[in-house]
Homo-oligomer: A and B are copies of this chain.
Amino acid sequence: MTERMERGLEKLRKIDGEAGERVIESLADVSPDLARYTIEYPFGDIYERPGLSLRDREIATIAALTAMGNATPQLKVHIQAGLNVGLTEEEIKEVIIQMSVYAGFPSALNGMQAAKEVFATTE
């Protein structure tokens, strides 16, 4: 196991928690290589960088995935991740509401629906 991989796996566990591990597990049979890249580059390289807090990074990710509107499973993982690294439910909802301005109301409505489902599992 490379050092990037070790570092990435630790970061993945810290940020995404169990949801992240499930993503990696579900790739184990079909593409362990994609699992490895998903750990190495996003988590081993990018989330490791010092210039922005994990809380700020999750604001960016939740915003982007809500706006793109075509990656609901990943949006849910990162709504949970946002909670894990210190965002409150209210702050996550603010980010999603704001996306109505940049990507339209459907993106915001579908993002809020994803948040509702994630929040329900944490109560």
Q: Which residues of A contact B (CB under 8 A)?
A: 23, 26-27, 29-31, 33-34, 37-38, 41-42, 45-46, 49, 51-52, 56-57, 59-71, 73-74, 90-91, 93-110, 112-113, 115-116, 119
Contact = CB atoms under 8 A, between A and B. Distances in A.
A110 B51 contact: no
Contacts of A63: 59-61, 63-64
Main secondary structure of the interface of A (DSSP, over half): helix
B49 A94 contact: yes
Oligomer: number of copies: 6
Given A34-B93, A56-B56, A73-B106, 5 more contacts: A30-B112, A30-B115, A31-B97, A68-B68, A71-B106
